[in-house]
Structure 1
């Protein structure tokens, strides 16, 4: 199991992708915040979800936003999903001697349809149908795997990630408090937040 704090999840459907992350910020066993955002739309059709240290998350988010905007100005169109994932892979690899302490799921929709990729701290890039990263990854995958099918609807995928995060929060003290959800289809992004109490005994 990854020791990077927090949990990020991605699920691909025929209509688009659902990215999600819980909202807890921890450091050295202490809960510092219960309202941290770790999933973001970088462009109208590509988003990212993070597990790991928030300092590195914020740096990478800003770098991706700048690079995506530069690409759009240079080429006159939005960067594609795989293009942004490859760009992130290069950025992460460039820090390989002192890696960014984060795992990342990249998802979105372009003229190749919905796509989902995961990256480790040194930029290894893998395409997946569903993924979970961070300290709650094994628990989340254990919930998602038997319930996933390629014909799942966007709404069903949203319910699946919420329940997966709830399952994680019951057992992983590094995850908690709620879940931020980002759905991306051909129409663009849609964000929502679901709040719930951590049922793990404190």
Structure 2
């Protein structure tokens, strides 16, 4: 029974990618969410702006993602009010990692499984990227990561031969877009659109919002 429930729960079998460049960070994702073999949504936004300075890309169960995003947004706001200063991206990543760790280890018929790429800008203007594994480990990313998204093998394969440490944000945006497009060619859980965000000292910008519609003859 548990296997049947887990198979048909609404999931974002996803392609997400985070790329670190010399002047910021870029996040990209597709828009498809599925339940079993059915495409349930073609417009799911998998990259969420948490605050004015933090943004995250998620993979996992949709309900778990929604809850994680709401909780981390509330916790960061509470910390701002209590400390009169905004949390660092490292603090945000560590909190989300702790929350993920606890969630997956809480006995449940349907375990909460969420993988996250979280990026943002600290008060000194420096952008950074962290990956939070579904088991709860939070790690700083120095180059690129696709977490445990279903498109990860295709994305990492492309980045292994194309990534350069001195990429500009503009170059990273195009590379991230190419990663998602490449993944959608082979991963049945990914498709229907691309969203790309840039994270720099100037702020967080939604730089690409592109719907991909199949042409039926």
TM over 0.5, yes or no?
yes
Aligned with residue 5 of structure 1, among 13, 22, 47:
13
Q: CA RMSD in A?
A: 1.9
Partner Cα distance (1:139, 1:68) in 2? 33
TM-score w.r.t. the length of structure 2 is: 0.86
Unpaired runs of 5+ residues, structure 1, are none
Map of 1:106 onto structure 2 = 118
Residue by residue, what CA displacement relative to the aligned partner does 1:51-100 show, whole Å, maximum 9, x if unpaired?
11111110000001101111111111221111100010111111132452
Larger radius of gyration, structure 1 or 2? 2
- 184-193 or 63-72, larger mean C-alpha shift: 184-193
The number of residue pairs the alignment matches comes to 198
1:175 equivalent in alignment to 2:190: yes
Aligned with residue 132 of structure 1, among 142, 146, 157:
146
Q: Is the 8 A contact 2:12 2:34 kept in 1?
A: no
How far did residue 195 of structure 1 move?
A: 2.1
Aligned with residue 120 of structure 1, among 122, 126, 133:
133
Map of 2:210 onto structure 1 = 194
Q: Is the 8 A contact 1:16 1:154 kept in 2?
A: yes
Partner Cα distance (2:12, 2:114) in 1? 7
- Other structure's SS at 1:150 match: coil
Q: Is the 8 A contact 1:5 1:26 kept in 2?
A: yes
TM-score w.r.t. the length of structure 1 is: 0.92
Partner Cα distance (1:13, 1:75) in 2? 31
Q: Is the 8 A contact 2:58 2:117 kept in 1?
A: yes
Q: Is the 8 A contact 1:100 1:122 kept in 2?
A: no
